[in-house]
Chains A and B, each alone.
Chain A
Amino acid sequence: MSSAQDLRKRIKSVTNTQQITKAMKMVASARLRRAQAKAKSTEPYAEKLGQILTNVSATLEPEVLASYPLTAVREVSRTLYILIGADKGLAGAYTSNLIKYFAQETREKAPDTYETITVGRKPTDYLKYHQYPVTNSHVGFSDKPEYSHAKQIVDEASKLFLEGEVDEVILIYTHFVNSLTQNVTSVKLLPVVTEPHHEGELNELYIYEPSEKTIYDQLLPKYLEITVYNALLQASASELGARMTAMTSATDNAGDLISSLNLEYNKLRQAGITNEISEIVGGANALQ
């Protein structure tokens, strides 16, 4: 049984913790709204770009398509995983879900058949500590990604792919559904999967300026960039959502703890008073 003084101290410290988690919750929810809006505003861009890509690739012959280095399908002997996680913790199971997914993916693979590019301090630290092959890592922007970051990641990944270091690139990130639900998903970034040309089917006729090939050459990297950018934005919204949920439950738990501590403290205090009174009464009776 702890003394009243100990209880007072604990109540004070839990109250302080609650104030901190409450503030973090508020910050996360304000930033979540912004991140969500940003993720939403890139949607039309990504959609339209994907549409143009599909249209253009539908008009190209399969042989022509196969000649593009970024769409070349090779036998997979090495895989590059791009992991998008958080820089900071205190976001519940956000990072551990991501890592669990990644571990599941690579469980049956020998360590020399894959490499990783990580985004965010948390997954980077984890993978390095557990001696996974980390080729490169990007930290410092997990909750506020910019287009240039996506460009950089795409440049690195496509360089590895074009040099033949890896035969496929898989992007693992957390898809934002709502602030309570976030799903870890993976998409194959490279080689780019395109719709094949259908023989005899009347493809939509476009004039190409300057030529299909030039457009396709410029379109593919842009498409990759927006895919990664979108993943970064989804991940940042998920991170903030996970943090908000975690901090909400932390605040609630702290509240529960404070009330139970208060109850115990009051009981103790009351017991003390009762004790004193009975002592006084006992003493007074003894004098009579």
Chain B
Amino acid sequence: MSEGKTMHLDVITPDKNAFSGEVKFVVVRTELGELGILPRHADLVAALEIAPLRIDLPDGTRQFMANFGGFMEIKNNVITIVTPNCELPDEIDEDRAKRAKARAEERLKSRNADIDFHRAELALQRSLLRIDVKHKV
């Protein structure tokens, strides 16, 4: 580790390694709120929410990714985020996200007993996150 000022971050999804490299600062969101992690953090395991993932690179640039839940493990200054899906802003199709948002909202509004509210809620969360991350760039 380069003088203890950075830490290694791996973001692993079932399809690929979404991110791998040295970082200076990471912000994730857990059930209890936002969690900022600096190098040499104590070992930790956390369940993550559907929320933006902020990564500060050693050269000072700040990067956002759309993180769809999962888990984070910190061990020996290595952060591993294991998540079902994690997208870079470039990978996000904003129009599609907007359509998904409208669809989910309509479903939630319809108050129909046939629909799965939990699923619609999650779909809405995902679409909002995508739009949010896209606009942070």
- B and A form one assembly: yes
Contacts A38-B15, A41-B15 known; A214 to B47 CB distance under 8 Å?
Answer: yes
Cα of A41 to Cα of B42 in the assembled complex, Å: 29
Residues of B near A214 (CB, < 8 A) are 31, 47
Chain A positions within 8 Å of B32 at CB level: 209-210
Q: Is the CB of B45 within 8 A of A55?
A: yes
- Pick from A102-110, A190-198, A218-226, A245-253 the stretch touching chain B: A218-226
Chain B's closest residue to A215 (CB) is B47
Given contacts A209-B30, A210-B30, A219-B71, contact A42 B43 (CB under 8 A): no
CB distance from A231 to the nearest CB of B (A): 13
| A52 touches B (CB below 8 Å) | yes
Per-residue contact bits, chain B 67-110, to A (CB 8 Å; 1 contact, 0 not):
00011010100001010100000000000000000000000000
Could you tell me if B14 and A226 are in contact, using CB atoms closer than 8 angstroms?
yes
Q: How far is the CA of A41 from the CA of B15 in the complex (A)?
A: 6
How far is A210 from B70 in the complex, measured between Cα atoms in Å? 13
**Binary contact readout A198-233 vs B (1 if CB under 8 angstroms, 0 otherwise):** 000000111111100011001100100010010000
Q: Does the CB pair A204–B12 fall under 8 Å?
A: no
Return the contact of B14 from the options A45, A209, A210 (Cβ within 8 A): A45
Q: Which residue of B lies closest to A151 (CB)?
A: B84
B interface: dominant SS: strand
In whole angstroms, what is the CA distance A46 to B84 when docked? 11
Knowing A210-B30, A222-B84, say if A56 contacts B13 (CB, 8 Å).
no
- Which chain B positions have C-beta within 8 A of A41? 14-16
The CA of A42 and the CA of B43, in the complex, are separated in Å by: 25
Determine how close the nearest CB of chain A comes to the CB of B59; give it in whole angstroms. 26
* Residues of the B chain whose Cβ atoms lie less than 8 Å from the Cβ of A38: 15
**In the bound complex, do residue B43 and residue A206 qualify as a contact, i.e. CB atoms below 8 Å apart?**
yes
- B46 within 8 Å of A (CB atoms): yes
Looking at the complex, which one of B15, B46, B80 makes contact with A42 (CB distance below 8 Å)?
Answer: B15
Alpha-carbon gap, A48 to B79, bound state (A): 12
- B-chain residues with CB within 8 Å of residue A222 when the two chains form the complex: 70-71, 84
The proximity string for A residues 14-49 relative to B, scoring 1 for CB distances below 8 Å and 0 otherwise, is 000000000000000000000000100110111011
Instruction: Please give me the residue from chain A that is nearest to B13 by CB atom.
Output: A45
A209 touching B35, Cβ below 8 Å: yes
> What would 18 more interface pairs be, CB under 8 Å, given A45-B13, A209-B35?
A41-B14, A41-B15, A41-B16, A51-B73, A52-B45, A52-B73, A206-B44, A206-B45, A207-B43, A207-B44, A208-B44, A210-B31, A210-B46, A210-B47, A215-B45, A219-B71, A222-B71, A222-B84
Interface residues of chain A, those whose CB is within 8 Å of chain B, are 38, 41-42, 44-46, 48-49, 51-52, 55-56, 147, 204-210, 214-215, 218-219, 222, 226, 229
